[in-house]
Amino acid sequence: MTLGLTNCRILNKGKLVSADVLIEEGKIKKIGTFSAADRVIDCKNSILLPGLIDSHVHMREPGFDYKEGFVTGSNAALKGGVTTFLDMPNTKPPTVTVAALEEKRILAKKCAVNYGFYFGTSVTNIEEIKKAKNIAAVKMYLNETTGNMKTDNVDVLKAVINYSRLTAFHAEGKTVQTVLDVYHKYRHNGNKLYFCHIARKIEIDALKKSDAYVEVAPHHLFLTENDVKRLKGFGSMKPPLAKKSDQAALWDGIKRGIVDTIATDHAPHTIEEKKSSVPPYGVPGIETMLPLLLDAAHTQKLTLTDIQRLCCENPAQIFRMKGKGHIAVGYDADLTLIDPKKKTRISNETIVSKCGWSPWHGKVLKGSVEMTIVNGMIGYKEGQFFKTQGREVMFE
Ligand code: NCD
Ligand code: ZN
Ligand code: ZN
Ligand code: ZN
What is the rounded CA–CA span in Å between residue 188 and residue 176?
17
Residue 195 lies in a domain: yes
Residues 84 and 31 in one domain: no
* Beta carbon of 246 within 6 Å of any ligand 1 atom: no
Residues 214 and 282 in one domain: yes
What is the rounded CA–CA span in Å between residue 316 and residue 54?
10
Q: How far is the CA of 142 from the centre of ligand 2 (A)?
A: 9
Residues 299 and 336 in one domain: no
Residues 23 and 62 in one domain: no
Task: Judge residue 11's burial from the number of C-beta atoms within 10 Å of its C-beta, 0-12 exposed, 13-18 middle, 19 or more buried.
Answer: buried
Mutate which of 150, 265, 274 to test ligand 1's pocket (most atoms within 8 Å of Cβ)? 265
In this predicted model, what pLDDT tens digit does every residue of 207-253 receive, in sequence order?
999 999 999 999 999 999 999 999 999 999 999 999 999 999 999 99
Q: How far is the CA of 144 from the centre of ligand 1 (A)?
A: 9
Atom number of ligand 1 nearest to Cα 170: 12
Peptide bond before 93: cis, by omega within 30 degrees of 0?
Answer: yes
Residues 311 and 220 in one domain: yes
> How many distinct structural domains can be found in the chain?
2
Residue 214 lies in a domain: yes
pLDDT of residue 375: 98
pLDDT of residue 271: 98
Residues 237 and 377 in one domain: no
Residues 88 and 184 in one domain: yes
Within 13 Å, how many C-alpha atoms sit on residue 298's CB side?
14
| Per-residue DSSP letter, 143 | S
Residue 224 lies in a domain: yes
Residues 371 and 271 in one domain: no
Look up 205 and say whether it is catalytic: no
Q: Where are the alpha helices (DSSP H) in 88-200?
A: 98-107, 126-131, 154-163, 175-185
Residues comprising the chain, all counted: 396
Residue 189 lies in a domain: yes
Domain span at 347: 2-48+330-351+367-385
pLDDT of residue 299: 95
pTM of the model: 0.98
| Per-residue DSSP letter, 295 | H
pLDDT of residue 293: 99
Max Cα-Cα span within the chain: 62
Residues 98 and 58 in one domain: yes
Mutate which of 92, 146, 150, 228 to test ligand 1's pocket (most atoms within 8 Å of Cβ)? 146
In this predicted model, what pLDDT tens digit does every residue of 76-110 receive, in sequence order?
999 999 999 999 999 999 999 999 999 999 999 99
pLDDT of residue 386: 98
Residues 197 and 250 in one domain: yes
* Beta carbon of 267 within 6 Å of any ligand 1 atom: yes
pLDDT of residue 343: 98
pLDDT of residue 247: 98
Which residue, among 81, 86, 118, has the nearest Cα to 307 in the 3D structure?
Answer: 81
Residue 393 lies in a domain: no
CATH number assigned to the domain comprising residue 199: 3.20.20.140
pLDDT of residue 95: 98
Q: How far is the CA of 238 from the centre of ligand 2 (A)?
A: 6
Residue 42 lies in a domain: yes
pLDDT of residue 374: 98
* Beta carbon of 149 within 6 Å of any ligand 1 atom: no
Residues 26 and 79 in one domain: no
Mutate which of 56, 57, 60, 90 to test ligand 1's pocket (most atoms within 8 Å of Cβ)? 90
Residues 114 and 87 in one domain: yes
- pLDDT under 70 in the chain at which residues? none
Atom number of ligand 1 nearest to Cα 143: 12
pLDDT of residue 179: 98
In the set 54, 260, 265, 332, the catalytic residue is 265
CATH number assigned to the domain comprising residue 27: 2.30.40.10
What is the rounded CA–CA span in Å between residue 178 and residue 210?
13
* Ligand positioned closest to the Cα atom of 214: 3
Q: How far is the CA of 111 from the centre of ligand 2 (A)?
A: 23
The answer to whether 136 and 55 are in contact (CB under 8 A) is yes
Residue 85 lies in a domain: yes
Residue 359 lies in a domain: no
